[in-house]
Structure formats: structure tokens, C-alpha cells
Amino acid sequence: MTLDANGFAAMTSNSLVDMAGEEGLPIFTVERVQLQFSIAADFVAAQVANNVLVLALSNGRILRIDLNRPEDIDDIDLPKKPSEVGVIRRMFLDPTASHLLICTSLGENYYLHSQSRQPRPLGRLRRVSIESIAWNPSLPTASTREILVGASDGNVYETFIETANEFYRKEEKYLQTLQKLPDGPITGLWVDNLGGKADLRRVLISTQSRLFHLVGKVGRSHHEGSGSIYSKLFEAEQPVIHELSHGTATAPSCLAISPDSPDAKTYDDVMPERAFAWLSSHGVYHGKLLAAPAATELGTKVFAESKLLPRSQIVSPEASRKKTSAEAIEATILTQWHVVNLVAGRIVTANRLTGSIVYDQHILDQGQKALGLYVDQQKNTFWLFTEQEVFEIVVRDEDRDIWKIMLETQQFDMALQYAHTLPQKDAVAMASGDYLVGKGLFVEAAGVYGKSSKPFEEVALAFIDNHQNDALRKYLLTKLTMYKKTSIMQRMMVSTWLVEIFMAKLNALEDTIKTEAELVENLNTDQSKQQLGAVRDEFHDFVNKHKSDLDRKTVYDVISSHAREDELLYFASAVNDYNYVLSYWVQRERWNEALGVLKKQTDPEVFYRYSSVLMTHVGHELVEILMRHPDLKPRNIIPALLDYDRNFKGTLFQNQAIRYLQYVINQLNSTDAAVHNTLVSIYASHPSKDESALLSYLESQGEEPRFDPDFALRLCIQHKRTLSCVHIYTNMGQYVQAVDLALSHNEIDLASIIADRPMTNPVLRKKLWLAVARKVISQSNGIKTAIEFLKRCDLLKIEDLIPFFPDFVVIDDFKDEICNALEDYSRNIDGLKKEMDESSQTAANIKVDIAALDHRYAIVEPGEKCYVCGLPLLSRQFFVFPCQHAFHSDCLGKKVLEQAGVAKSRRIKECQVQISRGLVSGAKKDAMVAELDALVAAACILCSDYAIKRIDEPFIGVDDDRTEWVL
């Protein structure tokens, strides 16, 4: 047995399903489900929940079908035959489809869990004719936890059911009687949580004539299933009762609760807003299950806002229909917005809000009996079961007309919530705005009108004519958010108009505060100040959000015409027009404000443009800001530094231009000559005679200064910076000028230091020291003092100094020095004589060695071979070297040519060509032969420099046999 792939096959008598879209389809249609299996017996009971369909047959079998997998059907039998326990009368399935209670006609009750295929008898509930179940609101799946059971004798029980594996244990842990009502069967039960609290619950109980509403706290058990929790609520609380007068005891009765919202999560902690419907002999009494206040009076409020849908309106909706008392409402269920009724084989659906009938259709044939209407609470599906057929009540776009109903009842917020299309929302907005204007609520209407398509000029003129500037401002702000980005002109016009309105409002509020009068809106001064701040904040938000829609020049003109300085500067800052803000503050000589703006800048051009004026007036603060921006080009700030220095009268330590330049040089390691030259210029031109700062800088530059030495030298000469000039001369290598300049200013120690600098040029060094000596001798009072000073240079001799002494100096004053000098000369002469004797002996030994070379010889063995070609050496002309290596002359020549330089190779070839062709003869030929021998046989190619040059050549050549090297 199996259903089709989709769980059913729709059997419709019309072609509605062939329509293009759901918008043209009716809200309700009833479709027959085509079962894909044969039915052995009639249906006697049914339930559906969580997409699970449960069918009970008259032969005691139960079919459990998962509509997601309709091909898999659980076929379950009761433990006993129907002849023993009776035919299945009713079934109850919880919203999760986990727990199924099966009731038979003989009072036998069974429990079946979704994970089980064997129903277990409920011993404690035996002989209890169950009419209704209130499942636990937490929707547990392992066990039912605490549930309420309504019986046909008016009793309300509490029980706790879970699957027991041991045969001797009962499924229900306990059975507690909570209430005994004399009204007859308990036709409906419902329990839910209130206020998000698990222990605060609402209980609805329906009978054929009364509806009970209880609110209260339930007790808590130490262990699940250990005892009743609802006893506390039923004992402590009194229900609010809605009672019928002159009700019929035999009329059908039930309690229906609306299913979960399609948008709600199944196990969400926040309870969804639900509706209830109580079917009685009078009709359908329905309303919202309000959640507040969570107290006893909640029932009174619920019943006060509920209303009755009369039976006559449902049974005979058409005026021409003949009323028959035999027709009764057999069953009622709720969808999200409608009450669905079963009336004598017809499905009649009424809108809960208006009571109007939206669907009335005959579904069942004459004499066909219905089991009832059923709801899948979680999946929002609705079903009609007969003894042999299954119908699905399909609901399409159920809330399509809810917005109209809400609009007619002036519930504009709800209407907007259920308006799905733009035209619908627009209609709601216009109607809402018109309603608010009629009530005099112009500001509230402005926000609504702004989101509607109501003509712009009509709304604007209405606010202007009624002097509602605040409403006009809000309308324009709202309208601005509705324009597309491409509507550039509209956005700019509205934005500019808003600027004018904001300025007028701010001025009006300030005038009111100044005169300490009351506004037209009857606000006192304190309220005006608060409103002023609120409007100013609103203007700031407007500028930040819509600055791209505003034209700068136009806005500047509008705000300036109202003399609103703060708003003018705020707008300029918002659009990043910092040039405008800075120029504004600079023109007014508000230096602190100008610096505050400059601190926020990152554009280098702004710093370059305003550095001159700010450096002059707030140099220290400006330098602090400049030092935070290492990306600036110091060269572009030099003009401002020079202007500042020209008017600066303080010390070098206080000079902010020097401070910034030192930061650029020392911290940023600038190599720009302009920066260094500027620092030298400021140091040199300062009125102070102290050169320590300038000298310290010059010395820090070392041997390769970044400044221009010629420029620095001219400045130092111009401003008479002697020591600095001497330092620059020295670095330039102009030692003579440096010494002369130092001596001209009696800086003898400095001149002495400079004279020792050219260590690699003794002649220049001696010349410099002679100049120092002349100055020292001319200034010395005692000759001995001068001579002691000049001993610092080892190049000066006494004879070099004698010409500098005055003619009247007595020789006794430096007799000792002359004697010491003569002794030194005597020792030097003795040393020179000894060196000459040693040189003569060395020359004689060389002559003997040269004479011995003429008699030197080498012995060549008969089998000696050439070290190049390996052939016998004596076969042709050869060379033998003192190292005993021997080569054929031509072999040696080839090797030399390979390894010799370009010039030497060219000369060897020239000599060989001229000798071989006989181009030279006689003495010239002998000389050329000697030259050729000298070039070729100058050294052994295996022992001399030639071998060293061949160090990168491999031992094994291309033509060598590699096997000879194998070990």
C-alpha cells in the first residue's frame, strides 16, 4: 500500500489549478486526496500532525503515514480484536506527532509512541471515555509529561505517560482528578504558557454550554511524573466563565485553537499569538488568546473582546436559502484568519475579523458521513476525513485581504503590516495620513505622507497653509529618503529647502529663548532649549546623511543669510571643505579654532597653504601638529619657517622653525639640501654671538654634509661665524685658509688641530705647522714656552724655527735645543753610513751571482720528454727551466700564446712572423730572437704565474681518458 509521490493526487472539478498564479485563485479550495492503496475497511478515526497522517480502520488496524515519505506506511494492529475492545472511536495526536492516544468504543485506551509499533494499554485510564486532550505546552517528545484529559462524564484528569519497557510497569505514572463539571462531556481542553514562564499557565475548558478560562501557577515536582502539578492551579484559582443561555445539550461542541504562524519557529520560546473558537448550539464564539495581563482578570478581558458568529449566519449565509433547523455545525477549526465549518457536507468559511462568508461549497455527497475537520498545528495544513475518503482544504495567500479589513477599521499599523504590494502600502499610507490630518496630528501625518504617493505639492501646501513647519520638515525628510539616487534634481531641491526650514526653525527657537517668552506651541524656555538642541542634532544628522545632495555654494549662501555660524562651519566640515573652515577662522584670527580644524586634516595642501600665517601666530602649536604628519614635504613649509624666523626675537632654543627642522633632520633623516641649508641660514643669521648650536650641527654632519658648503661658508663669513667658517674650510680640504682664519682670530689650539689633519701630506702639514709656529713665536713671552708648544709636531726642526725668532734673541735661550738637534744629526749620519756599507756589500754579492749564472747548466736525459706533447725532447729545439721542466720551443710558444695577455700575444706573433719570413736580419734578427726567447721562456708554464691563472681549469679535460683516474 502506498500513496502517490506527493502524498495525494488532487481531484478538482474546475480548472483553477491551471491558472497562471495564485493571485487569481480563491483563498480556499478543497481537493480530494487520491489514495494509492486499497482500503480493507472504513475509516473510523483520523488525526494529522507534523506532516504525519494517522488513519484508524474499523477492523482495528492503524495506518501511520509520513507525508514526506508516503511510500513507507506503518501498519499497526491493536493488541486485541475489535470484538474484544470495541471499534476505535477517537484518536488524539500531539503537535509533534510523537504521542498517539487511541480510544475504543468499549472504554479501552491505548498509547503509541512514534518510535514504537505496538500500542500499550493505559490501565489507569481504562473505562475513561476521553473526549479531549490538552498537551503539554513544552511539546516534549520522549514522554507526554503532564497532560490534561477531558472525559465524557465531565471529569478533568491529569496524567503523565511514557513508554515502559517492562511488562509490569504502566505507561501512565499517575492519574489525578482535577475537576468534576456537571455540564456533561469536556468537549475541549487547551493549555499554554504565559509571560514566557514555564510555571505560569492558562487553561481553557469547554463543555456544550460553558467555556472556562483559568490562569495561575502550577506546582513543581521533584521528579518528572512523581505527582500532579495542576492541582495547585485548580485549587487556588477561580475560573472566568462564559455561559450560554438556552443551549442545546445535543448540539455538537468543540474547542479549536489557531495553528502556529507560518513565520514562527516550531520550538520558539516566545509563544505565538493565537485565536480560539468555541463551537456551541448558538454558533461559533471566537476571539484572541491575549497574553496580558497574566492574572485572573485575563479571562474577563479575553471574553470581553471575543464575539459570536451566529449559527444562522454560517448555516444559511444566503438570504434566499431556506433555513432548516436540521442543519447544524458539525465541526469547526481555525486557520490564521478564518473559521472553517463543516455543515451538512458543506465547507463554510468565515472571516474572523468581519464575520463574512468567503467560501461555501458542497463537498460530500448525499448520505456521506464525515469524521470531522482536522488541523496540522505546526505545518498549517487542514483536512476533512470521511469513512472512505480524505480531503485537503488548501489555503492560498490567506492574508491577501487582511490589510483592507484593517484599513476599514482604521488599524493602520496592522494594515501596513499585512499590505504586501507597493500599491497596498501606498493606499494604507494615504488613508492613515488623511486620518491623522483630520485629527490635527500633522507631524504624525507627515511621516506617513512621506512614504505615500500623495501629490507632493498638495501635501506641502496643506502644511504651509496650516502653518505646520515642523510637519513640513518631517515630510520633506521622509520624502527625501524615498527618492531614488538617480533623482538628482528632486533630491537637491528638497534638501536645499530643508536647509532653509532648519535655519528658520533654529532662529525662531533662539529668539524665543532670548526674549524668555513662550512659543506658539506653549513651550516654556527650558523646553525651548531642549527643542533647540534636538533640532540642531536633527540638522546635523540631515547634513551627514544627505550632504551629497546639497550644493555647497547654495547652502553657504542660505546659512550665511541666517547668520548661523555654527551650522555653517558644521556643514563645511561635513563636506570636508576644510579650506573654507580654516579660512573662516583665520580671517577672524581665531587661532585655536583654526588649529582644532587643522588637527583633523590629512591633505598636505591644507598644511602648505595655511602654514605661513599660523606659524607666525601660533608657531609652537603648529609645529606640534606638523610633527604628527611625517608625510609632509618640508621643502614646501620652508617659506613659512623663514617668514617666522624673520620676525622672531627669542633665543635659538625657543625658535620653533629650528625645532621643526631638527625634527625633520634627526627623526625623519631628511637628506634634502634645502632643509639643511635653511637650518644653517637660521643658525648663522641669529643675533646671538654663540656659535655652539651651529658648530654642533656642522660637526654632526661628518665628512659628507647634506648642506651646501659654499652657501654655508658665505653665510658664516657674512655673519662673522669664525669657528664655523674654520670647520667648513676644514671639511672642504682648504686647510691653509682654515689655519689662517683660525690664527687671525688667535684660535691657536684650533689651528693646531687643523694643522694635524692632512696626515697623508707631510709637506702641507709642515707648512701649516710653520704658520702656527710663526704665530706662537710672535705671541710667546718666553722662547722656551714657544719651543715646548711646537714639540707637538714631529716635522718641525730647530733650524725651521730659527728664522721666526727676533734678531735680539740670545742663543743661550735655546742652546740646549740646538745641541740636541746637532746630536740627532750626528746619529742620523752614522746610521746613513752603516746603510751605505750594507748596500755596497749587497751590490758585490749580486755581481757574483750574475757571473755564476753564465756557468749554470741542466742535464737532459736521453729519454726526456716534452711536458706538453709527450714526444722526445731531443727531437727538436727545446727549453729547459731551472725547475727541470722541459718543453719544445714550439709547444712552449703555443701554451704561452693561450695564456698570455692580448698585448703580449700580439708581440709574440709579430716576432714569429718577422723571423720566419726573413723580414729582419743581422743584429736586428738576433735582437728579435732574444726578445722572442725572453717573451716565450720568461717563466715555466707549470710553475710560474701561468699555472696560477689556470687554477679554474679541470684536471680532466674533454680529450682525456677518464678511466685513467679511476681508483
Quote the cell numbers at residue 371. Answer: 469524521
Structural contact between residues 531 and 586, judged by C-beta atoms closer than 8 angstroms: no
Model pLDDT, residue 798: 55
Instruction: Check whether residue 131 and residue 110 sit in a common domain.
Output: yes
Query: Would you give the DSSP letter of residue 552?
Result: H
My answer on whether 105 and 176 are in the same domain is yes
Q: Which residues contact 825 (CB under 8 A, 6 or more apart)?
A: none
- What sign has the CA pseudo-torsion 422, 425, 429, 430? positive
Determine the Cα–Cα distance for residues 120 and 109; give it in Å rounded to an integer: 9
Residue pair 863/873 in contact (Cβ under 8 Å)? The answer is no
Q: What's the pLDDT score for residue 395?
A: 92
8 A C-beta contact, residue 64 and residue 49: no
Number of domains in the chain: 3
pLDDT level of residue 535 (50, 70, 90 thresholds):
confident
CA nearest to 879, candidates 826, 924, 964, 942: 942
**Domain-terminating residue out of 541, 574, 596:** 541
How far, in Å, CA of 139 to CA of 135, rounded? Answer: 7
In a domain, 702, yes or no: no
Quick one: pLDDT band at residue 269, thresholds 50, 70, 90? very low
- Please report where in the chains the cell 505546552 appears, as a residue: 137
Across 469-473, 767-771, 865-869, 954-958, least confident range: 767-771
Where do runs of H (alpha helix) occur along 756-814? 762-779, 783-790, 798-801
Helix axes 525-546, 565-574, angle to 10 degrees: 30
Residue pair 729/741 in contact by the 8 Å Cβ criterion: yes
| In a domain? residue 391 | yes
Residue 19: band (very low, low, confident or very high) from pLDDT cuts 50, 70, 90: very low
Which residue is associated with the grid cell 444562522?
312
SS3 91: strand
Is residue 62 within 8 Å of 77, Cβ to Cβ?
A: yes
| pLDDT given at position 391 | 93
Which grid cell is 965?
683516474
| Whether residue 340 is found in the same domain as residue 455 | no
pLDDT at position 168: 61
Domain limits for position 530: 404-541
pLDDT level of residue 695 (50, 70, 90 thresholds): confident
Q: Does residue 577 surpass a pLDDT of 70?
A: yes
Is residue 505 included in any domain, yes or no?
Answer: yes
What is the enclosing helix (H) or strand (E) of 391? strand 390-395
Domain holding 171: CATH number?
Answer: 2.130.10.10
**Element counts in the chain: helices (H) and strands (E):** 34, 31
Do the domain assignments include residue 577?
A: no
Report DSSP state, residue 963.
Answer: G
Question: Count of CB atoms within 10 A of residue 253's CB?
Answer: 27
pLDDT at 95: 94
pLDDT at 1: 33
Q: Are strands 130-134 and 120-121 parallel, antiparallel or unpaired?
A: unpaired
- The answer to whether the predicted template modeling score (pTM) of the entire model surpasses 0.75 is no
Select, from the ranges 114-128, 261-275, 483-497, the one with the highest average predicted confidence (pLDDT).
114-128
Within a domain: residue 460?
Answer: yes
pLDDT tens digits, residue range 773-813? 666 666 665 566 656 666 665 555 555 555 555 554 545 55
Query: Is the domain of 128 the same as that of 145?
Result: yes
Q: Is 801 inside a domain boundary?
A: no
Q: Domain check: are 390 and 427 in the same one?
A: no
**Comparison of pLDDT for 472 and 750, the residue scoring more:** 472
Assess whether pLDDT exceeds 60 at residue 426.
Answer: yes
Over residues 566-593, the mean pLDDT reads 78
- Beta-sheet strands, E only, within 50-87: 52-57, 61-66, 73-77
Distances, alpha carbon 612 to alpha carbons 164, 586, 641, 672, 908, in Å: 94, 11, 7, 20, 77
Whether pLDDT at 138 is above 50 = yes
State the average pLDDT over residues 154-163: 93
Q: Is 159's pLDDT higher than 90?
A: yes
- Who has greater pLDDT, 541 or 855? 541
**pLDDT of 17:** 33
CA–CA distance, 955 with 967 (Å, rounded to integer): 15
* Same domain membership, residue 381 and residue 410: no
Percent of the chain's residues with pLDDT above 90: 22
CA–CA gap between residue 100 and residue 150 (Å, rounded): 16
pLDDT of amino acid 519: 44
In angstroms, the Cα distances linking 166 to 120, 125, 169, 170 are: 11, 19, 6, 8
Pick from 137-141, 580-584, 693-697, 794-798 the range whose average pLDDT is largest: 137-141
Letter for the amino acid at 58? S
> Tell me, what's the pLDDT at 147?
95
Q: Tell me what percent of the residues of the chain surpass a pLDDT of 70.
A: 84
Residue 917 has pLDDT above 50, yes or no: yes
Confidence of residue 90 (pLDDT cuts 50, 70, 90): very high
Give yes or no for residue 207 having a pLDDT over 90: yes
> Could you tell me the three cell numbers for 616?
607666525
What's the pLDDT score for residue 261?
84
Per-residue pLDDT at 779: 67
**379 and 454 within one domain:** no
Confidence band for 575, pLDDT divided at 50, 70 and 90? confident
* 398, 419, 435 - which closes a domain: 398
Sole residue written with cell 712552449: 892
Pairing mode of beta strands 172-180, 155-162: antiparallel
Q: At what angle do helices 488-515 and 525-546 cross, to 10 degrees?
A: 160
pLDDT at 382: 95
d(CA 257, CA 204): 10
What's residue 270's pLDDT? Answer: 47
Do 381 and 410 share a domain, yes or no?
no
Mean pLDDT across 79-99: 92
Residue in the block written with cell 477531558: 150
Domain boundary residue, one of 368, 398, 428: 398
In this predicted structure, the answer to whether residue 607 has a pLDDT above a threshold of 90 is no
Query: 264 and 361 in one domain?
Result: yes
**Could you tell me which residue, 752 or 283, shows the higher pLDDT?**
283
Which is more confident, 805 or 627?
627
User: What is the overall mean pLDDT for the chain?
Assistant: 81
Burial 906-928 (b: 16+ CB within 10 A, else e): eebeebbeebeeeeeeeeeeeeb
- At residue 846's C-alpha, the angle toward residues 843 and 848, to 5°, is 115
390 and 499 belong to one structural domain: no
Highest mean pLDDT among 593-597, 635-639, 707-711, 828-832: 635-639
Claim to verify: residue 370 and residue 466 sit in the same structural domain: no
H-helix or E-strand containing 334? strand 329-334
Asked whether residue 388 falls in the same domain as residue 442, the answer is: no
What pLDDT sits at residue 3?
45
Tell me, yes or no, whether 451 lies in a domain.
Answer: yes
Tell me the backbone φ, ψ of residue 308, rounded to 5 degrees: -100, 130
